[in-house]
Amino acid sequence: MPKSTVRARRTGTTVRKNERLDVRVSPAQKALAQEAAMLQGRTLSEFVTASVQQAAEQAIRKHKVITLTAEDSRAFAEAVLAPAAPNDRLQALAERYKQTTVTE
């Protein structure tokens, strides 16, 4: 099977596309995707590829990025800039760590 190479539009670099992604969809899902692709002036493959990439990036970003309200952001910044003094338990744990950790 020949391998396809495509020139990336934004970067101008050549991207080898030799992986396949096979899915089964209902006739209604295919018709919907075909209509959306046509409205955007893309082939069905281009539309599906772009849509999958966008959905994947969004899902990954949702799990990797924490969004805070202004109030939460202020509370976090205050805790970082002016942390509470360590309590007795934390000091005991730190001492225990020092005693059990081998340093070179």
Q: Which residue has the tokens 């101008």?
A: 12
Distances (CA, A) of 33 to 22, 54, 56, 68: 15, 15, 17, 35
pLDDT digits (tens, 9 = 90+) for 61-87: 999 999 999 999 999 999 999 999 999
Domain range summary for the chain, segments of one domain joined by +: 22-99
- CA 27 to chain CA mean position, Å: 30
pLDDT digits (tens, 9 = 90+) for 20-70: 999 999 999 999 999 999 999 999 999 999 999 999 999 999 999 999 999
Entry pTM: 0.57
State how far the Cα of 67 lies from the Cα of 65, in Å rounded to an integer.
Answer: 6
State how far the Cα of 8 lies from the Cα of 6, in Å rounded to an integer.
Answer: 6
